[in-house]
Structure 1
Amino acid sequence: MKNIFRTKPIDDLINETKGENGLKKVLGAFELTMLGIGAIIGTGIFVLTGIAAANYSGPALVISFIISGIACAFAGLCYAEFASMVPVAGSAYTYGYTALGEIWAWIIGWDLILEYLFAIATVAIGWSGYIVKLLSSIGIVIPKSLANAPDAGGIVNLPAVLILALITGILVIGVQQSARLNNIIVGIKVAVVLLFIVLGVGHVNVANWTPFMPYGWSGVLSGASVIFFAYIGFDAVSTAAEEVKNPQKDLPRGIIGSLIVCTILYIVVSAVLTGMVPYLKFKETAAPVAFALEQVGITWGSALVSVGAVCGLTSVLIVMLYGQTRVFFAMSRDGLLPKVFSEVHPTFKTPIKSTVLVGVVSMVIAGFTPIGIVAELTNIGTLTAFIIVSAAVIVLRKKDPNRTRAFKCPLVPLVPALSIAFCALLIFKLPVITQIRFVVWLLIGFVIYYAYSYKHSAINEGKTVA
């Protein structure tokens, strides 16, 4: 087991993208930024803002978003350096393989599987809540038994399962088609968010911001760890690296651009939202933005926001499912998962078997699991990945200082160290049961690595070890 820290040379990884199992390069900076916005703006605004305001942050939700945004800004700079230097599918998994070694790559990859699968399920459950509400407003009532997981008194969350089946089919056809659909949907949901701000700002009552920090700083930090889910989309941008026309320039632009746009929108929306409605009232709803408009009598706006939320969450699902399949694809190509999952469809040029597997597993989780558990597990998985990528930037600067970096993270090692510190703080503020579940997930991953992945690694087949 002495070779568990073996690394893959960056040049070998790039050469692999040129073979028959390479992916088609079709994306530019605009598509990447839209992918990022597509993944970031969705569940955070349309679902989790109410949960965080009512139970953790109160009106200080604005500060929670700023703290999470700062943590993501530091991590995003680290991701941008790697993405421009290693334009290969797999995101943090691939970065860990080049800088820290195979065992760390496996930990990140296994971690990303948790992150994406449960993120997809969380968003699908939120999408189901909005579509059920929207359909009921026009007289179409879906029985609770078919709209809720068993723990919520139902049999299966059927709308969540059906939307995942549809998106899986779209992703099988091709990433270019998926990106075009995503661009349209992102345009709709950004327009809806801006409409909410315009409609809501005139109904802000400053008295609703008092007390501003009802749960103290501890509540603000806990709220930041909960709504951190809102920011994980930029990681999905880096998973698209292998399908980007000019990755050295376009990937940093896509990552940083999407973070800037979304952070500004989150801060403004959370300020307006908590100013319109007393924060405790958000305990009554899973659709806080539409709920706030209803409370001030703008019912038509509420219906329109619900439509926007359905579109918004749909684009998040597209990007998250896409990201998960690319991580699976990269791990399979390296031999850490069965090779069958790195097979590319001869016509569509997409990893069809990875896509179908991820789609089916996501449907099962979304159909039968409560939203609270899946959201928290997503956050801890993401934060851990950010920590490892930030550490990898510092390590690779020492190991390979002369490698060309089209984008360089500023103030290394300070910025990566701040990223690690912020993310570790947010992990600490998550519920203990979530931390325990995450440790159990990692232990299962170690068993699989030593039983299968170590023996079947592509490095064992004679490829160069750094």
Structure 2
Amino acid sequence: MARETHLGDADVSSSKAKDPDAYGDGDGNKLSLVPLIFLIFFEVAGGPYGAEPAVQSAGPLYALLGFLIFPFVWAIPEALVTAELSTAMPGNGGFVLWADHAFGPLSGSLMGTWKYVSGAINGAAFPALCADYLARVVPAVAGGGPRVATIVTFNVALSFLNYTGLTVVGWTAVGLGLGSLSPFLLMSGIALPKIRPHRWGSVAAEKDWKLFFNTLFWNLNYWDSVSTMAGEVDRPGKTLPKALVSAVSITSLGYLLPLMAATGAINAPPENWGNGFFADAAGMIAGKWLKYWIEVGAVLSSIGLYSATLSSAAFQLLGMAELGLLPRAFAVRAPVFNTPWISIVATSAITLGMSFFSFNNIVAAANFLYSLGMLLEFAAFIWLRIKRPDLSRPYRVPTSLPGAVALCLVPSAFLVFVMAIAGWKVYAISATFTAAGVGVYYLMRFCKARGCLRRGDSVPAPGQ
């Protein structure tokens, strides 16, 4: 039976809610542990590509300290919150479901808007990035019709991959992950006898702290993206926490070890460490063959990043449609592959259109909107601890309420800092998207009240 737009308190108290692992029973198309680890890996990082500006902006010492400390300040708290709430409410939509259940459907709609826009803008960079890397090997791809054709082909091919199902996407991510990480493991091994530890202590003469912190933030966020497809995970109560712990470890080491190897083995000034310098460093350490391998790995990483981002965004739309926050069409699944094909097509079209624009201010706005969403997510985490202490939590962050508040306090302070340093254009763009989110919510209410739209079913309550 169709239900109203958000979960009621009784929904989470059913027998199956107390055993969310039952969601995975008997379904061979559910995501298992290994593919899920690599999907999370690509939703967050995809390898150390893009970490170079941390060295450029502050020098090796601060870059190494940043990637050593920041996972504890940001990545681990976000992953812990994601693990608790995803296992407590293992339905598609993730953070939208949490905000809806904690504060009501308007909050869910705002959360969905902020996170979807942020993710779509983030995903739009990857087709263009892939074309940029291919242009190093095939110069004709650098501009004009060939570049457009490359971006469109990239987008269409990965949209079809997502159409074939999350199991295929997940195991493809495993192969892409191994392919993108392997040259860095090899580089780190070859670099060992050449490392001079004193090089790790050097700093940049002129430090750009804004670039430094933005680099850390950009390379270590989106841990909660996996929550949007929690309903597709086999035994989520057990699988999600294990996958998040594994992905945090792989991602953190995937940044730290190559940085230690490259900054310790070569004597390059910080100003040389622009985007793509890892390939040059590998060439200096081992030869051109490894440089080319890392450039190929960058293409593989772009493919994995886009595919994982598209999956997360599409299942977020599905979850919002099931909650009644979007038209039911976004929850329609393909008859053979059981994937939300309309949501995939819509997200693919949006990111394809954005791929051809230069949008520095919009990217900054994406960070701002993501920060708003994370503040709401932390608030939902704390409020659900207060409001629903009886909620079944197969994984519970091992801390009391004051400890939970402390867990969210430092990352929240960092989010406020990121938002405070934004310019007026970012505020204006973010306000526009926020107003659009409010508008969509009230338009949906109006249409449903007038009978223009069928009421959306919320995420199926366990056991119903």
TM-score range, shorter chain: 0.7 to 0.9
The equivalent of 2:315 in structure 1 is: 326
Residue identity matched to 1:190: L
Matches within 5 A, 1:64-75: 64-69=66-71, 70-75=73-78
Matched, 1:166 2:168: no
Distance, in Å, in 1 between the alignment partners of 2:252 and 2:341 is 34
Q: 1:343 aligns with which of 320, 332, 335?
A: 332
Q: Greater CA deviation, 56-65 or 413-422?
A: 56-65
Distance, in Å, in 2 between the alignment partners of 1:116 and 1:98 is 22
- The DSSP-based 3-state class of the residue aligned with 1:142 is helix
Distance, in Å, in 1 between the alignment partners of 2:138 and 2:419 is 37
Q: Deviation per CA, 1:286-321, whole angstroms, max 9, x where unpaired?
A: 422113234557211100111111112211111100
Q: 1:266 aligns with which of 236, 244, 255?
A: 255
Distance, in Å, in 2 between the alignment partners of 1:80 and 1:175 is 20
Distance, in Å, in 1 between the alignment partners of 2:152 and 2:67 is 30
Q: Structure 1 residue 145: deviation in Å?
A: 2.7
Per the normalisation by structure 2, the TM-score is: 0.84
Q: Greater CA deviation, 8-17 or 51-60?
A: 8-17
- Relative to structure 1, the CA distance from residue 427 to residue 201 in structure 2 (aligned partners, 3 Å threshold; closer, same or farther) is farther
Matched, 1:311 2:300: yes
Residue identity matched to 2:442: Y
Distance, in Å, in 1 between the alignment partners of 2:198 and 2:148 is 39
Q: Structure 1 residue 340: deviation in Å?
A: 1.1
Asked if structure 2 preserves the Cα contact closer than 8 Å seen for 1:96 and 1:105, the reply is: yes
Q: Structure 1 residue 235: deviation in Å?
A: 2.1
Matched, 1:83 2:82: no
- Relative to structure 1, the CA distance from residue 24 to residue 379 in structure 2 (aligned partners, 3 Å threshold; closer, same or farther) is farther
- The DSSP-based 3-state class of the residue aligned with 1:413 is helix
- Relative to structure 1, the CA distance from residue 125 to residue 375 in structure 2 (aligned partners, 3 Å threshold; closer, same or farther) is farther
Q: 1:132 aligns with which of 120, 128, 135?
A: 135
Matched, 1:95 2:84: no
- The DSSP-based 3-state class of the residue aligned with 2:391 is coil
Q: 2:389 aligns with which of 384, 390, 401?
A: 401
Asked if structure 2 preserves the Cα contact closer than 8 Å seen for 1:40 and 1:234, the reply is: yes
The equivalent of 1:425 in structure 2 is: 417
The equivalent of 2:434 in structure 1 is: 442
The equivalent of 1:182 in structure 2 is: 173
Asked if structure 2 preserves the Cα contact closer than 8 Å seen for 1:121 and 1:374, the reply is: no
Distance, in Å, in 1 between the alignment partners of 2:168 and 2:56 is 39
Matched, 1:145 2:137: no
Q: Deviation per CA, 1:91-138, whole angstroms, max 9, x where unpaired?
A: 2111111112212111110011112111111222222221221334xx
**RMSD in angstroms over aligned alpha carbons?**
3.2
- Relative to structure 1, the CA distance from residue 85 to residue 454 in structure 2 (aligned partners, 3 Å threshold; closer, same or farther) is farther
Residue identity matched to 1:41: A
Residue identity matched to 2:41: I
- Relative to structure 1, the CA distance from residue 106 to residue 97 in structure 2 (aligned partners, 3 Å threshold; closer, same or farther) is same
The equivalent of 2:341 in structure 1 is: 352
Residue identity matched to 2:438: F
The equivalent of 1:192 in structure 2 is: 183
The equivalent of 1:380 in structure 2 is: 368
- The DSSP-based 3-state class of the residue aligned with 2:390 is coil
Distance, in Å, in 2 between the alignment partners of 1:251 and 1:305 is 30
Distance, in Å, in 2 between the alignment partners of 1:113 and 1:269 is 32
Residue identity matched to 2:311: Y
- The DSSP-based 3-state class of the residue aligned with 2:51 is helix
Distance, in Å, in 2 between the alignment partners of 1:278 and 1:459 is 61
Distance, in Å, in 2 between the alignment partners of 1:373 and 1:442 is 16
Distance, in Å, in 1 between the alignment partners of 2:91 and 2:64 is 36
- Relative to structure 1, the CA distance from residue 383 to residue 356 in structure 2 (aligned partners, 3 Å threshold; closer, same or farther) is same
Q: Deviation per CA, 1:393-423, whole angstroms, max 9, x where unpaired?
A: 1101111111111111232222123332233
- Relative to structure 1, the CA distance from residue 423 to residue 270 in structure 2 (aligned partners, 3 Å threshold; closer, same or farther) is farther
- Relative to structure 1, the CA distance from residue 227 to residue 402 in structure 2 (aligned partners, 3 Å threshold; closer, same or farther) is same
Matched, 1:235 2:239: no
- Relative to structure 1, the CA distance from residue 460 to residue 358 in structure 2 (aligned partners, 3 Å threshold; closer, same or farther) is closer
Q: Deviation per CA, 1:55-91, whole angstroms, max 9, x where unpaired?
A: 4666522233345422121121111110110001112
- The DSSP-based 3-state class of the residue aligned with 2:443 is helix
Q: Structure 1 residue 191: deviation in Å?
A: 1.4
Q: Structure 1 residue 11: deviation in Å?
A: 5.8
Say how many residue pairs are matched.
437
Distance, in Å, in 2 between the alignment partners of 1:449 and 1:59 is 47
Q: 1:54 aligns with which of 42, 50, 56?
A: 56
Q: Greater CA deviation, 301-310 or 233-242?
A: 233-242
Distance, in Å, in 2 between the alignment partners of 1:174 and 1:360 is 19
Q: Structure 1 residue 335: deviation in Å?
A: 2.3
Distance, in Å, in 2 between the alignment partners of 1:281 and 1:449 is 48
Per the normalisation by structure 1, the TM-score is: 0.84
Asked if structure 2 preserves the Cα contact closer than 8 Å seen for 1:73 and 1:259, the reply is: yes
